[in-house]
Amino acid sequence: MAVVLGPNRYGKAETRVVRVTRGPGGHRIKDCNVGVALSGDMDDAHLGRSNAAVLPTDSQKNTVYAFAARHGIEQIEDFALLLARHFVESQRAVHHARVSVEEYPWEPVAGGGHSFAGRGGESRTCVAHHDRDGTATVVSGLAGLVLLNTTGSEFRGFAVDEYTTLAPAADRVLATAVTAMWRHTKTHSGYGESRERARGGLVAAFAGTHSRSLQQTLYAMGERVLADGPELCEVRLSLPNRHHFLVDLTPFGIRNDDEVYQVADRPYGLIEGAVLRAGAPAAGFAFD
């Protein structure tokens, strides 16, 4: 049986790095989880002939720490691009580098200049790609943005089969924890401002849309992000439906006037989709 080696990559996953910047006006902290994946001329390593093309993953980890010390970490997109470019330019066998960063935000605690509080479960994300020919792509995003509307959401007129028990809802609680990624048309400065506009658009569209389905809300959120961000060409969203069910209190002689709910964490509906600017270039592996 003839077999051949297919697409492959390797790297160092989940290098956790905390960079503290100390200044007279107080300290700043960047808390990041960095993933590196490299691909290129790696056939000899896979086929047992030579490891000469393989930069150890331990070296990749050390590079993350060294670059954090030497260059600092401002916008995570810039840091990811810097690392990706370095691995391609410094290693002849590497033709493509993918660097992902997840940032866990901290907020200063008033009064000390050196104390911080974590900002819950929301995190910032990015993925940067760099090719041997110099092509670079950047995808920014966020995860764990929890949103809830207590009204202004319905779900009815859906398909029904012999297993359907769900009753149509003319008014319901709609809640989700947003994972969003948005693709930049080109590398640029101002990733932080772009992220704030995108996040604000997601929140505003969720709050301002009378939802007939979570699918409709997804489209409205992606459409708003693209409307507010001319530097962006595509948004991808993953929206779990955090179901809130009215609790039946009649056995206790209590009337529940849409006030007390049970939150079901699983199973849950999962709505995913992409919204693209018309004529946007193909994403390829940019979201990988």
Q: Where are the alpha helices (DSSP H) in 178-265?
A: 191-208, 214-228
Q: What pLDDT is recorded for position 23?
A: 87
Domain pair 9-134 / 141-282, same fold: yes
Q: How far apart are CA 271 and CA 220, in angstroms?
A: 13
One-letter amino acid at 103 equals E
For 95-116, the pLDDT digits (tens) are: 999 999 999 999 988 877 889 8
Q: What is the mean pLDDT of the chain?
A: 95
> Does the active-site annotation cover 57?
yes
> Does the active-site annotation cover 63?
no
Name the pLDDT band for 235 (thresholds 50, 70, 90).
very high
- Write down the architecture of domain 9-134 according to CATH: Roll (3.10)
From 30, 96, 130, 243, active-site residue? 243
For 10-19, the pLDDT digits (tens) are: 999 999 999 9
> Would you say 80 and 128 are in contact if contact means Cβ atoms under 8 Å apart?
yes
The percentage of the chain sitting over the pLDDT mark of 90, rounded to a whole number, equals 90
Name the pLDDT band for 285 (thresholds 50, 70, 90).
low
**pLDDT at 156 > cutoff 80:** yes
Q: What is the mean pLDDT of residues 176-186?
A: 97
Name the pLDDT band for 119 (thresholds 50, 70, 90).
confident
pTM of the full structure: 0.94
From 27, 46, 57, 114, active-site residue? 57
Q: Where are the domains of the chain?
A: 9-134, 141-282
Name the pLDDT band for 279 (thresholds 50, 70, 90).
confident
Name the pLDDT band for 284 (thresholds 50, 70, 90).
low
For 120-147, the pLDDT digits (tens) are: 889 999 999 999 999 999 999 999 999 9
- Domain 141-282 sits in CATH at 3.10.270.10
One-letter amino acid at 105 equals P
Q: Which distant-in-sequence residues (6+ apart) come within 8 Å of 81 by Cβ?
A: 99, 128, 130, 136, 138, 187
State the residue for tokens 């107080």: 26
> Would you say 1 and 12 are in contact if contact means Cβ atoms under 8 Å apart?
no
> Does the active-site annotation cover 185?
no
